[in-house]
Structure 1
């Protein structure tokens, strides 16, 4: 194909030279027929080569559809699995009882990089690490208060669930339960010793 292009170019130069040298070697006919066909053919050939080159680039370049595994879905899967692992650590291993639990230590438990921990905590359903720890600690404290009542010292209870100070325990308890630990104990004691009247009325109906 390239040989035909160069051959036509030689023919054009030959006739062009002949015209200006006085030997009109069919130059008029050449201009009327051969030259337009030559330039048309050349354009078509160049377009063909350009099309083939684009096709090769398209075939060799990786496409998004050909590679279904992307970094973002893989990252989401990792976070989801880590969130499930986090719930397991909280419920079964009770890692929230560790007073020194922080982002770095939690990352070690989960075997992930520290920068992923906040995303994992949110995936597990908690806004922050502090709120996650507080909710689990107070939930456990309520279970202990219901179980032991006033028989167990309150200081022993808040130490057991991971608090280092009475103030931190009281603040979290009030925030989450909307009452103090003492009020919670009193309410729980009254419910056990004095059941609601509606319950007694219901028992009378079914007896």
Structure 2
């Protein structure tokens, strides 16, 4: 075997092996074994089997067909396990819903019966021309469904970074890595990439994820807490109590002046979880974190525009916590209906 091929084989095979080890960890050894943990383990298992099949076949085209059938059958579960992992994590599912179990059982029955009736050994053309396109189509459908499920999280990660918490980044990363792996497999299937490229993509993504996890001080914030309150709406008394605490914090510490203030920073000040604070802002105040903070900044900016004639308009924006002139101007106009300059002119005339 050539040196380059040997390196590819080692790197890809080790990635599949490590994926199996991580899968076992989430199934049997994780301290907090939640539904989300189990589905992450199942996802890693499905990916590892699929990647392992690709690696073995790439370097040995005489591989027994049963291994090819196992690898392709595992591929049938990558999309579903990703979808249920994301759904269980985002909704803090504590036990496997009955309809989820039926859903997975139906999928297992379909691929198992298909393999028993038309095994790869005797019907390779059926698998390559019929089953494989169906498997990739099913995978794509679940990826789209997962994307719809993740739309709010992805929006926060890419467009509302101040509201994104480590858990959001973790979930978004897992989803996007799966999109990348699917694209690599699909491109290789169409002949646009070497067959081994998808396995290398998986290995690379796995090693990067492991490196990040090992270098974090804590990893508990990457998984849903059992204390999340998504399923329980706040009472009116609780909502009033939290609103009073927020208003007091804003008046006394004026934390909104910090241009780098994040959702988790404010939650820590209130001794709440970021999830609890985000839920309170959305359900009780009808605002997201950015809207809530910017409203306080604009109120303070209006006070300075009235009383501080020495500060420039840009300086006032910096003073109240905006880290860019354009953001200050656009936010001010959106809330007050006119620009800061026109607002100051109007105040002077009065």
TM-score (norm 2): 0.32
Q: Which residue of 2 aligns with 1:128?
A: 288
Query: Which aligned pairs between 1:48-197 and structure 2 lie closer than 5 A?
Result: 76=235, 78-122=238-282, 125-149=285-309, 151-191=310-350
Q: Contact 2:313–2:341 at 8 Å: present in 1 too?
A: no
Q: Distance in 2 between matches of 1:148 and 1:183?
A: 15
| Corresponding residue SS for 2:308 | helix
Alignment CA distance shift 1:126-1:136 (3 Å): farther
Q: Contact 1:118–1:128 at 8 Å: present in 2 too?
A: yes
Rg larger for: 1
Displacement of 1:72 after TM fit? 5.5
Q: Distance in 1 between matches of 2:326 and 2:301?
A: 15
Q: Distance in 2 between matches of 1:152 and 1:104?
A: 31
Structure 1 stretches of at least 4 aligned residues deviating more than 3 Å after TM superposition: 75-80
Q: Distance in 1 between matches of 2:277 and 2:328?
A: 24
Q: Contact 2:239–2:284 at 8 Å: present in 1 too?
A: no
| Corresponding residue SS for 2:321 | coil
Larger RCO, structures 1/2 (Cα 8 Å, 6+ apart)? 2
Alignment CA distance shift 1:143-1:126 (3 Å): farther
Deviations 1:90-149 (A, max 9, x none): 122111111111221111011011210122224663411111111110110010010023
TM-score (norm 1): 0.52
Q: Contact 2:332–2:339 at 8 Å: present in 1 too?
A: yes
Q: Tell me, which stretches of 5 or more residues in structure 2 are unaligned?
A: 1-230
Displacement of 1:155 after TM fit? 2.1
Q: Tell me, which stretches of 5 or more residues in structure 1 are unaligned?
A: 1-70, 192-207
Instruction: Using the TM superposition, name which of 135-144 and 113-122 deviates more.
Output: 113-122
> CA-atom RMSD, angstroms?
2.2
